């Protein structure tokens, strides 16, 4: 009899800034995608719900407590992770502060404006651009508004909060 193989289960947290204008990304410390930006996330531990895993991973990698706003979706393309078949459950979250600090397997953290990410200005790991696009759609549903991908950076002039720009390290 052949042994049955199953995909691994992971979570990704799309963490919005308190003013909803930015997303918190980590710069990966390890392969795959070492030095790429990525969503905070990781593998679900035995006995843990995906929601608990999302909150734990957000805290471990960014030092932030977050609140889960909604489910973004389940991302199950067998080729989404070069390590093997990993299914990710992604959540839309909101940070309660800007005081993020890199820890665990995050090299640094950065609050990056949503429109810069959507334009492709940020090199992302895995399928995280697809996840972020879906999260923005979910945010628009929740807020009842349509975000403008081309909004000027002038709309968020207060960009020097802790870990608030791509260049700033946490």
> Which residue is it, tokens 């204008």?
21
Catalytic residue among 61, 108, 113, 166: 108
Helix (H) or strand (E) holding 137: helix 128-143
Q: Which stretches of 17-117 are assigned E, i.e. beta strand?
A: 22-28, 37-38, 41-43, 66-75, 86-95, 106-113
Q: Which two tokens stand for residue 169?
A: 């390290």
Active site residue 108: yes
Give yes or no for a contact between 39 and 112, defined as CB atoms under 8 angstroms apart.
no
Pairwise CA distance, residues 53 & 167, whole Å: 28
Cα-flanking dihedrals φ and ψ of residue 34, to 5°?
Answer: -55, 135
Task: Give the pairing type, strands 66-75 and 8-16.
Answer: unpaired
Q: Which two tokens stand for residue 139?
A: 């945010």
Nearest 10 degrees: Cα torsion 84, 45, 95, 132: 20
Which residue numbers are catalytic?
A: 108
């Amino acid at each position: 009899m052949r042994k049955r193989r199953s995909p691994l289960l992971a979570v990704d947290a799309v963490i919005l800034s308190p003013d909803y204008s930015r997303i918190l990304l980590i710069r990966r410390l390890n392969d795959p995608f070492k030095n790429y930006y990525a969503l905070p996330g990781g593998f679900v531990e035995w006995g843990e719900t995906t929601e608990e895993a999302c909150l734990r991973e957000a805290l471990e990698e960014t030092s932030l407590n977050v609140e889960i706003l909604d489910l973004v979706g389940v991302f199950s393309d067998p080729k989404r992770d070069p390590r093997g078949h990993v299914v990710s459950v992604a959540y839309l979250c909101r940070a309660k502060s800007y005081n993020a600090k890199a820890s665990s397997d995050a090299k640094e953290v950065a609050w990056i404006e949503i429109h810069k990410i959507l334009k492709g200005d940020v090199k992302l790991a895995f399928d995280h651009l697809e996840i972020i696009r879906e999260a923005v759609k979910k945010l628009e549903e929740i807020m009842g508004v349509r975000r403008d991908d081309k909004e000027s950076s002038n709309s968020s002039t207060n960009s020097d909060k802790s870990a608030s720009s791509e260049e700033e390290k946490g």
